[in-house]
Amino acid sequence: MYISFNMMRIASLIHECRSAKGTVMGTNLPSAPGVKLLVEDHQVALQNGIVNVTLSAPDGLVTKISYNGLDNLLEVGNEDDDRGYWDVVWTKSKTLDYLKGTSYKVEVENENQVEISFTKKWDASLNGKVVPLNVDKSRFVMLRGSAGFYTYAVLEHAPGMPDLDIPEARVVFKLQHDKYSP
């Protein structure tokens, strides 16, 4: 059985970016800078000239989101693994699993789109300690000219894996309080 979460657009974190003519900026704009992927030792960054997203590698945790000149929209006092992440609560152990990847690969890389996938395979020796799923966890997609990014997850519960219920699955971004408080 596969569970696929719907694609989510984190569009400038609920604030639409509008061009000087008042139209919503779309994707694949010919005048917009191309999408770039920067790979370092323990992180990868997706950039398109409007938004930059930095992820830990191979975990796939969001450590930084920069937008339109703002250095980091995420809470900087938190540890890197507590700023932006996918997680599930599963009933067998009633615990939270951050779905951290153990490897990653680039699915698409061109000037119009970058898509990166963070994965982990379930390990039977950890039965009861981690959620029994194969995870193509964090797929992160950035498009040319887009004021945000997309993320989605594919969870596979293969035959022979222990039964489970998932009452809650979410993607979390902890924003800086001083930038988003009334």
Of 128, 126, 125, 140, residue with least CA distance to 173? 140
In the 8-state DSSP scheme, what is residue 81?
Answer: G
Which residues are 28's β-sheet partners? none
DSSP strand E in 68-165: where?
A: 84-90, 95-97, 103-109, 113-120, 134-143, 148-156
Per-residue pLDDT tens digits for 14-68: 333 333 323 334 444 567 889 999 999 999 999 999 999 999 999 999 999 998 8
CA atoms within 13 A on the CB side of 113: 11
- Other Cβ atoms less than 10 A from the Cβ of 4: the count is 12
The identity of residue 20, as a single letter, is A
Radius of gyration, CA atoms only, the chain: 17
Per-residue pLDDT tens digits for 113-166: 999 999 999 998 987 778 899 998 668 999 999 988 999 888 899 999 988 888
- Asked if the model's pLDDT at residue 106 lies above 90, the reply is yes
Task: Tell me the torsion sign for CA atoms 82, 69, 144, 22.
Answer: positive
Model confidence pTM above 0.95: no
Q: How confident is the model at residue 81 (pLDDT cuts 50, 70, 90)?
A: low
Chain centroid to Cα 165, Å, comes to 23
What end-to-end distance do the CA atoms of the chain give, in Å? 44
